[in-house]
Structure 1
Amino acid sequence: MTRKLLAAALFTAMTPLAFAADYTIDDKGAHASINFKVKHLGYSWLTGRFNTFSGDFNYDANNVAASKINVNIDPASVDSNHAERDKHLKGKDFLDVSSFDSASFVSKKVEDLGNGKLKITGDFTLKGITKEVVIDANKIGEGQDPWGGYRVGFEGTTQIAMADYNMMDLGPASAQIELELHVEGIKK
């Protein structure tokens, strides 16, 4: 019996256990991204990203519903790989960065759908307008990193309506902006 207890203790000590923990989004190591795409007049896709953002979250694999997420985005960091277009995106027709220097997401509810799938409901604020959005998310994985830290990663998608945030009307084919999120958190 002693060998079984010793083996169980060693296995437990060597296996990372998931407990409620606070994480910082790894935006410094480029292990996180906020990407977008929108149909350009229905003819092609315009893609881009926000280069500057920060955030943190609390996550417990044993109590996913208790998770909390906060993300702040600098809309002036929009990058569509075209300087003139980025200037237009930063203007009053779209992001109006001279009047609104931040955007944010704050979770209200996180649902565990099983098999690593999550439904995250929260408030997204852009241009001073707050609307509820739902993010369909997947847990990618978690565990020890090579530097002695602990990480957990997720991906997610959602859509926002351009009209909800008083953006230029580009027609029905371009009414929705698709957001693709990749988040890797480092345990604090």
Structure 2
Amino acid sequence: MLKNTLAALAIGSALFGAGQALAADYVIDTEGQHAFVNFKISHLGYSWLYGTFKEFEGQFSYDEKNPQASKVKVSLDTASVDTNHAERDKHLRSDDFLSVGKHPQATFESTAVKSTGAGTADITGNLSLNGVTKPVVIAATFIGEGEDPWGGYRAGFSGSTKLKLKDFGITMDLGPASEEVELTISVEGVRQ
């Protein structure tokens, strides 16, 4: 009887476990420079100004069978902003824009993931930037996953969102064409 009970428990556990997909945890590969947080904003309505944040870290959980169970958490060093122009970067770090002295970190933490199609999802989360926290939605696309040449396993995603500067306390008047900034994120994570 004990043997039958143990066998039943083992079978039940196996069936229950098989029905549940488990999310895999990944650390974003910033050391290998396989991740980017870039932005662009209109310059007077005549051209695009591009920039990046060079220092950030984060992790994500990804469950292919149940994308809604996925999670993302990223923090970046606002002083690492780089637009390839030293004086402009100094101005971006000032209180007119990122106020890096008061707010050295920007963070994003997901609160929900909603599948929007094959390999795409909307990631809703709280973005804290310049001392303001607001919900934003990142339109994400799954790029691919698989083994790497060093014995690890990787998964990659891209995403984008648009932010209104004034929503995050940035009131510097750059003209009507420059009220929004577009963020583009590309990450490759190493499974833990």
Q: Which runs of 5+ in 1 are unaligned?
A: 1-17
**Deviation of 1:115 (Å):** 1.5
* TM, length-normalised to structure 2: 0.87
Number of aligned residue pairs: 171
The one of 170, 174, 181 aligned to 2:174? 170
Write the distance in 1 (CA, Å) between the matches of 2:45 and 2:134. Answer: 25
Moved over 4 A (4+): none
Identity %: 56
Partner letter of residue 173 of structure 2? D
Say whether residues 1:180 and 2:187 are aligned partners: no
The one of 110, 113, 124 aligned to 2:127? 124
Q: Is the 8 A contact 1:19 1:60 kept in 2?
A: yes
**Deviation of 1:114 (Å):** 2.0
The one of 45, 48, 51 aligned to 2:54? 51
The one of 138, 143, 148 aligned to 2:141? 138
Q: Is the 8 A contact 1:56 1:70 kept in 2?
A: yes
The one of 30, 34, 37 aligned to 1:31? 34
Write the distance in 1 (CA, Å) between the matches of 2:90 and 2:30. Answer: 24
The one of 51, 75, 79 aligned to 1:76? 79
Which protein is bigger by CA-based radius of gyration?
Answer: 2
Partner SS state of residue 189, structure 2: strand
Q: CA RMSD in A?
A: 1.0
The one of 138, 141, 161 aligned to 1:158? 161
Write the distance in 2 (CA, Å) between the matches of 1:76 and 1:141. Answer: 31
Partner of 2:102: 99
Partner SS state of residue 45, structure 2: coil
